[in-house]
Structure 1
Amino acid sequence: MMQKDILKQVGLRIRDLRKERGWSQEALGERGGFHYSYIGQIERGEKNISLLNLVKIAEALEVSVPQLFAYLEDGGKVSGSEADLQEIVRTLRTKKPQQVRIARNIVRELVSDTYEA
């Protein structure tokens, strides 16, 4: 993979994560402490972002740093399972802790070896 390609792939991933949240570049910039034009340059693959800034962006997006590299392994596409998991996480982020625990228990029950459909 060429060096510019990795910048574009990470930039696309950041853009997609930002858009999933319904945020503007300005909103992400505010959350991470950056100017919106810098976010735009990152998303277009024009900036070679530092590791420290990458961590700030991941924290602002509430994802892990490795999640920013998800597109590198699969050519820019998120698998159906990954998209489903992301939707579940987005939904649970807005719920109360008790609701999250209930959802966790339901998932555990569904995937346990004793569950039969």
Structure 2
Amino acid sequence: MKDKEILKLVGIRIRALRKERGLSQEALGEKGGFHFSYIGQIERGEKNVSLLNLYKIAESLDVNLIQLFAYLDEEFMVTPAERDIQDIVGLLREANDEKIRLAKNVLREILRGSAST
């Protein structure tokens, strides 16, 4: 894979994740501490972004760093388990505090039970 291709693939993935979350380049930039034009340059594959900045972008998008490298139509994809975890996180984001605490307790009990079996 050529250098420019990887930059474009990462940029396309960041753009897709940003749009899925309904964020503008400006909003993503604010969350990560970047200027919106820098986000645009990354999305267009014009910037060779540092690992630390990729981490900040991933945090701002509420995804794991590895998900920035999960390209569509590529061999390296998000695992089904990772997709399930993201679905659970999405459900929790929509829940109120009481339901979040309840889900945490239920999950803790489920995982305790599976550790002993």
TM-score (norm 1): 0.72
Structure 1 gap ranges (5+): 110-117
**Which residue is 1:94 aligned to?**
94
Count the aligned residue pairs. Answer: 110
Identity of aligned residues (%): 63
**Which residue is 2:10 aligned to?**
10
Within 5 Å, give how 1:1-117 maps onto structure 2.
1-71=1-71, 74-75=73-74, 86=86, 88-100=88-100
Alpha-carbon distance change, 20 to 88 in structure 1, aligned in 2, over 3 angstroms: farther
Structure 2 gap ranges (5+): 111-117
Kindly provide the amino acid, as one letter, of the partner of residue 75 in structure 1: E
**Which residue is 1:112 aligned to?**
none
RMSD after superposition: 3.0
Cα displacement string for residues 33-75 of structure 1 (whole angstroms, at most 9, x for unaligned residues): 0000000000111100001111111111111110111107x43
Q: Stretches of 4+ moved more than 3 A in 1? A: 81-89, 100-106
Question: Quick one: distance in 2 between partners of 1:91 and 1:15?
Answer: 22
Q: Report deviation, 1:85.
A: 6.3
**Which residue is 1:115 aligned to?**
none
Question: Quick one: distance in 2 between partners of 1:47 and 1:91?
Answer: 34
TM-score (norm 2): 0.72
Question: Quick one: distance in 1 between partners of 2:37 and 2:11?
Answer: 13
Kindly provide the amino acid, as one letter, of the partner of residue 58 in structure 2: A
Q: Report deviation, 1:2.
A: 1.2
Question: Quick one: distance in 2 between partners of 1:16 and 1:39?
Answer: 13
